[in-house]
Amino acid sequence: MYKKQSSEVVSELNSNAKNGLNTNDISALQQKYGKNQLEEHKKETLLVKFFKEFADVLIIILLIAAVVSLIVDIHEWVDAVVIFVVVILNAVLGVIQEARAEKSLEALKKMSSPECKVIRNGVTDKIPSSELVIGDIILIEAGDFIPADARLIDAVNLQVDESALTGESLPVSKITDAITSETTALGDRKNMVFSSTFVTNGRGKAVVTAIGMKTEIGKIAGMLGAQKNEPTPLQNKLTQVGKVIGIISIFICLGVFALDFFLLNGMQSSHLVQSFKLAVALAVAAIPEGLATVVTIVLAIGVNKMVKENAIVKKLPAVETLGSTSIVCSDKTGTLTQNKMTVLEVYNQKCKLLSDLSEEDYTLINYFSICCDAKIEIIDGVEKRIGDPTETALVELNNKYGTDISWAERVGEIPFDSDRKLMTVVIKKDDKYISITKGAPDVLLKRLNNAEVSDILVAIKNMSERALRVLALGIKVFDEMPTVDETLENNLEFVGLVGMIDPPRPEVMDAIKVAKRAGVRTIMITGDNIITATAIAKQLGIIDEGQRALLSDELDAMSDDELRSRIEEFSVYARVAPKDKVRIVEAWQSKGKVVAMTGDGVNDSPALKKADIGCAMGITGTDVSKEAADMILTDDNFTTIIKSVKQGRGIYANIRKCVKYLLSSNIGEVLVILLAEVIAAFGLVKGMAIPLASIHLLWINLVTDSLPAFGLGMEKPEDGVMLEKPRPKNENFFAQRLGLHIALEGVMVGLLTLGSYIVGVIYFDHGVASTMAFVTLAFTQLFHSYNVKSERSVVSKSTLDNKFLNLAFVLGVVMQLSVVYIPGINTIFQTQSLNGYQLLISVGFAFSIIVIMEVYKLIAKLISKNK
């Protein structure tokens, strides 16, 4: 529509520029085009979300084990109830933490204007914007939200803030002429107005060309709805862990059941129940019931830490995802920059920084401020900037460096016009009248009274090359009040120039340096022009040698395959549309990169949702961007992202520690039962039976294991974590020999526990031996938590610096001794009170793991030194 004359558009839509549509046609048009509102997608109910929590291999195996144990022996209900309670608690916790309503589309709807002015039957009326139809003639003025996409028919000093849609910080001056360019970015369609943008100045008349989901804002809503919530790297890796454990558990359970029932017991029906109990015990032993809860709570702890770092995380796994981030795609306006136009230089015969101004520059600064309609006020202690950002920058310049201008009495004015590119005011000073004209340098210089402009042109070029927006100012002095018309803007006396820019945030440069050292690359994506974007990027250190900026038109001309193959060439994207941002994110993801996307506007929302981790700005961000994102930066500070990356890396390391710690226990439990079964089958030790009951294993997995695991989750990120490169997106969770360490440590746990049981069987009886094995297994894990805490020796200053782990150790000891020695409780847990000698043997076996791991760490350290 922007390529056609407005009269053509009106005619094509069967409307009338003067009288609008006929009300008799409205109902038919509404039936044809629908309502001017955004569609809502069906949301999952809480019940559906609850049941989806059970779609996990480990949970299914546990539930089967519980049901089988009830069927086999209804009197063994305690184990089954414990399993059911654990599974349900995990599901409830998952729903509470993860079930967040998809509010992005609702936020988009809130941005729409509830009412609008429309001409129908030649009469101007106010109607709900949802009732607009294509072809309606709407009237807009300063202060209005635009209710639909429309082609302008008339525009008088019309300026529209489109930053939420395009990312461009300055209001756009609108025109009515057709635009003939073959390719025109959204921000350059100056004869169009778009739904949910805001009129800052002037007035206009337009014919509606698109409503509802067909508007530019509607297309964004469609992209948001089409985006799937992709699982995070952590979720994928934990699913991988679950599948591996699940498959192993099934084979172990089936194999042991077959061994026990078919071979060892000769398929005697009297042993069927016993074999089933053994298989259930193994299932419980193999599955880390507390893993999901521990990981969830470790992530929740990380979320609390992030709040203190000015970051609100909406989805728990997003904390860890940040730690593996390798690409940060950042919006420029308001994220890397301050979203506040600021004057950096003035030209008064020569260019000067603001720190070098002298009294002779006051007049220039005063005149620029006088020729403005904007103002800066302090309301309830908060600074409010009212008006065009360029003009508020000039007012701020005078407030800081100029003198009082309250003496200036405005007696006439010619408003800014996008065709003239000038604004003029007339003031009375003493007995003289002064007309002050400010505007685009290329226009104003042509209207000077034969001034020498060569030096001025050099100054303008120097400022422009540094991406400064340049304004020029000229005056005329009269003895009498002049006629206020465009002749005032001819034969001007040149006064000076100002150069302004939306400056980078001062702390961002250091944050980008830290990110580079951590192997994290920053990409600037902006709706602003390429010259400004490139200048800011170079200043911040975003563009390195061999990298360059790319325009939206060039990006459009690339196929997806070409973009993927060349994506590493580009560090800056200018004049981009919302779909461009999604393409850029997808191209990086196709390279196996974990992509974070920052932004604050509606235009950023689809990319925020598509990215592995979407970071919205909390102060300047729209509701839409906040709801589409995984994380909200409450201080709008790019540095917070880098701090969050550090926290994320630390949290991932802690989760690996927790998994290592918990799975080594599970392997130990399985090994104890398997080896005891084999020893008993071959009669190697008289009196051998199943060393540990199911309730023992549940207690270990849920209590004495989980408490230290929570403590490990509270570990601070280690020094040097930001000097490491990001983890590959598809890196196996058990990479860097984690799987081998878990297996070896699990064997140690199992052998020490079995050793304690065998000593108990030989010198006492099965009941005492089972309790000794139970105590040894619990205490082995409690001691082992300090081995897992760090690769360093436990004989160091940092061993006891985690007060949460120390508390967990003490609580674990007290609770374990309680289920052994408190009457009634020990009956439920099938334990017997141990005497001092028996307890000493049990704890001795358990403490051995500290000695063994110290020897191992020493050998590993010596090998590393030799290498």
Report the run of H or E that residue 739 belongs to, with start and end.
helix 738-763
Which strands form 548-551's sheet, in the order they lie side by side? 311-313, 631-633, 613-617, 595-599, 327-331, 521-525, 570-574, 548-551
Cα–Cα separations (whole angstroms), residue 808 to 469, 531, 658, 667, 815: 61, 58, 14, 22, 10
At position 706, the amino acid (one-letter code) is S
Can you give the C-alpha Rg of the chain in angstroms?
36
Q: Are strands 432-439 and 469-478 parallel, antiparallel or unpaired?
A: antiparallel
Residue 215, C-beta contacts closer than 8 angstroms, at least 6 positions apart? 148, 149, 194, 195
Cα–Cα separations (whole angstroms), residue 639 to 22, 311, 644: 56, 11, 9
How far, in Å, CA of 570 to CA of 553, rounded? 14
For the record, the structure tokens of 267 come out as: 């398929």
Q: Are strands 570-574 and 548-551 parallel, antiparallel or unpaired?
A: parallel
Residue 258, C-beta contacts closer than 8 angstroms, at least 6 positions apart? none
Q: What is the DSSP letter of 498?
A: E
Which strands form 342-347's sheet, in the order they lie side by side? 351-353, 342-347, 493-501, 469-478, 432-439, 422-429, 409-417
For the record, the structure tokens of 375 come out as: 């103002």
- Residues 27 and 202: beta-carbon distance below 8 Å: no
- Residues 531 and 579: beta-carbon distance below 8 Å: no
Report H helices in 324-357: none
Residue 397, C-beta contacts closer than 8 angstroms, at least 6 positions apart? 343, 354, 365, 368, 369, 498
How far, in Å, CA of 456 to CA of 444, rounded? 12
Residue 85, C-beta contacts closer than 8 angstroms, at least 6 positions apart? none
Catalytic residues, by residue number, are 331
CA 579 to chain centre: 18
- Residues 134 and 115: beta-carbon distance below 8 Å: no
Instruction: Give the Cβ contact number of residue 710 at 10 Å.
Output: 19
Residues 81-96 as b or e (16 or more Cβ within 10 Å = b): ebbbebbeebbebbbe
- Residues 537 and 543: beta-carbon distance below 8 Å: yes
Instruction: Give the Cβ contact number of residue 318 at 10 Å.
Output: 26
Q: Considering only CA atoms, which of 288, 289, 286 is closest in space to residue 672?
A: 286
- Residues 697 and 284: beta-carbon distance below 8 Å: yes
How far, in Å, CA of 809 to CA of 737, rounded? 27
Three-class DSSP category at 331:
strand
For the record, the structure tokens of 310 come out as: 């000015």
The C-alpha angle with vertex 785 and arms to 781 and 787, in degrees rounded to 5, equals: 115
For the record, the structure tokens of 822 come out as: 């408190």
Paired residues of 173 in beta bridges: 159
Report the run of H or E that residue 139 belongs to, with start and end.
strand 137-141
How far, in Å, CA of 799 to CA of 58, rounded? 33
- Residues 176 and 154: beta-carbon distance below 8 Å: yes
How far, in Å, CA of 319 to CA of 342, rounded? 35
